[in-house]
Every structure is written in structure tokens, then in C-alpha cells.
Amino acid sequence: MGMDEKLAIAQGLDSLGVDVIEAGSAMTSEGERLAIKKIADSGFKAEICSYVRALTADIDTALACDVDSVHLVVPVSDLHIQIKLKADRESVVRMAVDVTEYAKDHGLIVELSGEDASRADQDFLAGLYTAGIEAGADRLAFCDTVGVLVPEVAADIFSRLSRLEAPISIHCHNDFGMATANTVAALRAGASQAHVTVNGIGERAGNASLEEVVMALESLYQIDTGIRCKDIYQLSRTVSQMTGLLVAPNKAIVGENAFTHEAGIHVHGLLADTKTYEPMQPENVGRKRRIVLGKHAGRASVELAMREFGLSVTSQQLNQIVTRVKELGDKGKRVSDVDLQSIADTVLSIQMEPKVKLEELTVVAGNTVTPTASVKILLAGNERLEAGVGVGPVDAAINAIRRAISGVADVRLDEYHVDAVTGGTNALVEVWVTMAMADRKITARGAGADIIMASVEAVINGINRLMRLEEEEIARCRKA
Ligand SMILES: CC(=O)SCCNC(=O)CCNC(=O)[C@H](O)C(C)(C)COP(=O)(O)OP(=O)(O)OC[C@H]1O[C@@H](n2cnc3c(N)ncnc32)[C@H](O)[C@@H]1OP(=O)(O)O
Ligand SMILES: CC(=O)C(=O)O
């Protein structure tokens, strides 16, 4: 991340209500120093911290960035002391004490941290912490650097360390997928702070995730963390966009599917009470519930979708629609709103002419031209010609179509996703879009060997669906 990205994330963390922002390691690079200084000088409520090694030169670098505090890390396992640092236990304690005193003399808050603490001799570690407190350390930290803690051991260690005369943080890595569980166990046993990262990003398999730790404490232990939970999802999206690190769809709390339901049995239960299949309300973390259709759909979910479409169906028609949805699901397809509408139209024998039809599309792209598209469409039988430019040929084609229908249907493209269904450069692609007009949102699909045509098909399907929904809404209002 560059300075702008780091600053935006720091702003998000500060608004979320975190106590300390570790803004980076000041000794890393000039760019990192500029970013840390900018964050430190931004007047955030949170304490701004820099990671430092047990070296006075690192303290000087952090001081030049105007930080409030340092996360002063000292290797404490024999493996790290002897093999990595080529030192011994006594000299490590001396380094910790000397650099803590140096940092305190220069006005910094010091969090003295044991690196690889979970593989260290715990008596030696306790002695080092005590020496650090005597040298002025304000807080301590215990790093499970390679993620080998388990919750029982974390609880056992922290029930002893929490007797020391300084608050102590838990810092967990996720190599075995245990970071959240270990963090929560340490907090329950007396740790007073937790080091966490948004979306669980971090070295190797990452660190304990902020959203998981916060929501586990809030929902499972009824602990008020002081975090503005409703802003968690927005910050997760910001971090993902700014780092380019995609969040897995099934990631707890912030994954695309964390509040999405497809299974018919689940949707049936949810309709009676959302608590049946949701351990927390999606709104609590800034999310919305989504019900999608696929081969696991049941009558209850399809009936719900029909009601949302404003269609009333008989029990027999409902069964037919469910069967066709499952047939599509069996072919490995997600069922878009447009797919469902066309299934319902077939079963209910409804014949609708699409409002928008593509007549012609020409796209020019290459290394010496701005991608440009021209379209001829029929809009309710009237010919419209338009052109558009874009960052690429797909963008240009979609912009041209949106211009051709503007004034009649002002649609937004909220999400665009393309999958190669088969391999190779002649792959069959499937394009999936989420489109919106005013506050209505729908999904649509297009497929083919030509990525531009598949994209245009998906977008035109979506536009037709949105225009039809609007027409039906107007008709309902007139009737009422
Ligand atoms: C677990 C964690 O440490 S999480 C934080 C990790 N953060 C970073 O690594 C920040 C990014 N790192 C960097 O930009 C570079 O590694 C720098 C600028 C810090 C150092 O670069 P270099 O001087 O080229 O050293 P290099 O990275 O090869 O090796 C690290 C050096 O730090 C020493 N070191 C490592 N940890 C510590 C520590 N906690 N205290 C004191 N010295 C340490 C190593 O022994 C090694 O010293 P040596 O070069 O005298 O053998
Ligand atoms: C400091 C750190 O990231 C660790 O030891 O895990």
C-alpha cells in the first residue's frame, strides 16, 4: 500500500473505534515513513504506533515519524535468539531493557513484545517482561509468531501472564486457522488487548481477523468492544480494494456469502425466524441478507421470489418452477433473477417482448486507440444509435448501451463477474452482473465464446428485467 491507501485505512480504523493503529514499520522505506508520519499527524483519536526492532536506530526512525508509541519486538524463543539473532538470553534481556529505556527517555509509549513467545521458555519470558516493566515498558505483548498456540494453552499462559504489573496484548498468526480462537481464549484469560487485522490479512496465512474477534466477543460473550460494528463491512471492502487482496466468499462476517442463503431447508426456517439460520443479524455488521436460487432451492424460497416478483402461482405451478430451477442448478448454473423470470414466464405462459433489443454493435480496441463502441438498439421499437468509450472494449460497449437508453432507463452496473467455463483462449465464458435502477437490484447472466457479446447480453437482459419491474410497479400503483 502507498500513502493514500494507508491513510484511508487508518481513517477507517479510527472511525471504527480501535484504540491503537500500528501504522507500519518505520525502518522499512522512505514511503512507509512518509505514510506513518502522515497518519500520526492526522489528529486521529487512536494511538499511532510503529513496529520497531530492539535497536535504538529503529526508535530514532519511529520518533522522526511522530508516532505516539512503539511495538518494540524482541525475539524470545531459543530458536529465534540463537539461530536468527545469533545471541543469547542474557544479551536479549539487555537489548530489551536498554531500548525500552531509550524509547521512554524519548517520550514514547512502549509495548514490549516477545516474538515467537509461544515457543519460548515461559519462565525466561516472564523474567524478560518483568525486566521490561522495571525499565519503563507501559504494556507487553505476546506474539504467537508462527500460529502454533491452541486455545487451552493460550488460556493457561494468559492466566499467569495477566498477573504481571502491565497490561498485555495477544498477537496471533493464523497458520492453523486458530488465530481468532486463540485470541479470544487469551482475552478471556486476562489479556487486555488484541492485535488484529481487517479481513485477517498479514504475513503468510495472516493474523487474527478484527471482524471475527470483535463479533465473537460481542455476540458470543456479550462484551461491548466499543467498536462501531455497523461499519465493519465497509472497512473490509475498502481494505480489500486498497490491497488487492480478495476476501474468500465463505470468510466469516465479511465474505460475500456470509449472509447468503441457498438451501431450501434453511430459507424455509429463516422465513419463520431469521435466528434459525443466522447467528447474528447481517445489519449489525453493515450487511444485508441475500437469498439466492440454485439446485438446493425449495418451495419456500421460490415462493418468496415469486412474491417479490409480484406473481401469484398455484401449488402446481410452484412445483414446476422449482423443478426447472433445480434443472438449471444441476447444470452447474447459478440462477439469476432474469433466469427465474424467464422460467416463471414459461410456466405461467406469459409472453413479454423485451423492451431493449440489440441490433448492431461495433467495438474498436488496440494498443493505439481508446476503446470505443457504437451500438444500434431498438428501444420499445424505436431505433437509437449511440457511441461510448471505456477503459476496455467491454466497458466501452456497456457505456454505449447505457447512453443509448439514458433518459428512459438510468441503470447502474453494480457488479460484473466473468468466469471461463472451459479452458483455452476459445473458452466459453459466463458473465454475471448485478444491476440496479433507483433502489431496485437484480442479477442477470450472459454466456458465449465472445466476452464482449456475453457481457452485452448480460447487461441487456438486466436492463429488460429492470424495465419490466418498473412497468409492473407502475401498473400495481395504478390498480391500487
Ligand atoms: C514478526 C515480525 O517481525 S513482524 C514485522 C516485520 N516487519 C518487517 O520485516 C519490516 C520490513 N523489513 C524491512 O524493511 C527490512 O527487513 C529492514 C529494513 C527492517 C532490515 O533490513 P536489513 O538491514 O537489510 O536486514 P535483513 O532484513 O536482511 O535482516 C534483519 C536484521 O534485523 C535483525 N533483527 C530481526 N529482528 C530483530 C529484533 N527484534 N531486534 C533486533 N534486531 C532484529 C536480524 O538479526 C537481522 O540483522 P543482521 O542484518 O545484522 O543480521
Ligand atoms: C511481531 C509479529 O508480527 C510476530 O512476532 O508475530
* Structural domain boundaries in the chain: 3-243, 260-347, 356-479
pLDDT of residue 353: 87
Centre of ligand 2 to C-alpha 172, Å, is: 8
**Average model confidence (pLDDT) for the chain?**
95
In this prediction, residue 419 has a pLDDT band, given cuts at 50, 70 and 90, of: confident
How sure is the predictor about 310, in pLDDT bands with cuts at 50, 70 and 90?
confident
Find the 447 Cα to ligand 1 centroid distance in Å.
51
CB-CB contact of 466 with 409 (8 Å): yes
Ligand 1 site, residue 70, Cβ cutoff 6 A:
no
Please work out whether the CB of residue 87 comes within 6 Å of at least one atom of ligand 1. Answer: no
Question: Which range among 13-22, 29-38, 349-358 shows the weakest confidence by mean pLDDT?
Answer: 349-358
Radius of gyration of the chain (CA): 28
Q: What is the pLDDT at residue 4? A: 96
Residues 99-136: pLDDT tens digits? 999 999 999 999 999 999 999 999 999 999 999 999 99
pLDDT the model gives residue 466:
94
pLDDT category of residue 424 using cuts at 50, 70 and 90: confident
Q: Among residues 141, 56, 15, which one has the least CA distance to residue 26?
A: 56
pLDDT of residue 308: 87
Which atom of ligand 1 lies closest to the CA of 86? 45
Q: Is 195 in the pocket of ligand 2 (CB under 6 A)?
A: no
User: Ligand 2 centroid to 79 CA: how many Å?
Assistant: 15
Q: How sure is the predictor about 165, in pLDDT bands with cuts at 50, 70 and 90?
A: very high
pLDDT more than 90, % of the chain: 90
Residue 199 has pLDDT above 80, yes or no: yes
pLDDT of residue 439: 86
Beta-carbon neighbour count of residue 105 at 10 Å?
Answer: 10
45-49, 146-150, 471-475: least confident range:
471-475
C-alpha cell recorded at residue 64: 522522526
Reported ipTM = 0.96
CA distance 190 to 404: 63
Is the CB–ligand 1 distance for residue 25 below 6 Å? Answer: yes
Dihedral sign computed on CA atoms, order 182, 233, 276, 331:
negative
Q: Which atom of ligand 1 is nearest to the CA of 74?
A: 39
Residue 436 phi, psi (nearest 5): -140, 150
CB 111 less than 6 A from any atom of ligand 2: no
pLDDT at 172: 98
Architecture of domain 3-243: Alpha-Beta Barrel (3.20)
Asked whether 27 lines ligand 1 (CB < 6 A), one says: yes
Q: What is the pLDDT of residue 282?
A: 97
CA–centroid distance, residue 165 to ligand 2 (Å): 22
pLDDT tens digits, one per residue of 369-381 = 999 999 999 999 9
Residue 479: per-residue pLDDT: 84
| 143 Cβ below 6 A of ligand 2 | yes
Q: Which CATH architecture has domain 356-479?
A: 2-Layer Sandwich (3.30)
Q: What percent of the chain has pLDDT over 70?
A: 100
pLDDT value at position 418?
A: 92
Distance 308 CA to ligand 1 centre (A): 58
In the CATH hierarchy, which top-level class contains the domain 260-347?
mainly alpha
Q: Is the CB of 267 under 6 A from ligand 2?
A: no
Contact call for residues 33 and 50 (beta carbons, < 8 A): no
d(CA 35, CA 39): 6
- Reply yes or no on whether the pLDDT at 425 is more than 80: no
pLDDT reading at 250 higher than 90: yes
Ligand 1 centroid vs 62 CA: distance in angstroms? 15
Q: 458-480, pLDDT tens digit by residue?
A: 999 999 999 999 988 888 888 88
Distance from C-alpha of 463 to C-alpha of 356, rounded to nearest angstrom: 8
Residue type, 237: R
Which whole number is the average pLDDT over 239-245? 95
Residue 168: per-residue pLDDT: 98
For a mutational test of ligand 2's pocket, the pick from 143, 174, 178, 182, i.e. the residue with the most ligand atoms closer than 8 A to its C-beta, is: 143
pLDDT at 171 (0 to 100) = 98
SS3 letters across 145-209: CCCCCCHHHHHHHHHHHCCCCCCEEEEEECCCCCHHHHHHHHHHCCCCEEECEHHHCCCCCCECE
Å from CA of 245 to ligand 2 middle: 20
How many Cα atoms sit within 13 Å of 211 on the Cβ side? 26
How confident is residue 352, by pLDDT bands cut at 50, 70 and 90?
confident
pLDDT tens-place string over residues 126-145: 999 999 999 999 999 999 99
**Residue 421, pLDDT score:** 75
- The response to whether residue 115 sits with its C-beta less than 6 Å from ligand 2 reads yes
Average the pLDDT over 420-429 and give the result: 78
Residue of the CA atom closest to atom 33 of ligand 1: 85
Residue 476: predicted pLDDT? 84
Q: Is 171 in the pocket of ligand 2 (CB under 6 A)?
A: yes
Return the pLDDT at 420.
Answer: 82
Ligand 2 atom at shortest distance from the alpha carbon of 146: 6
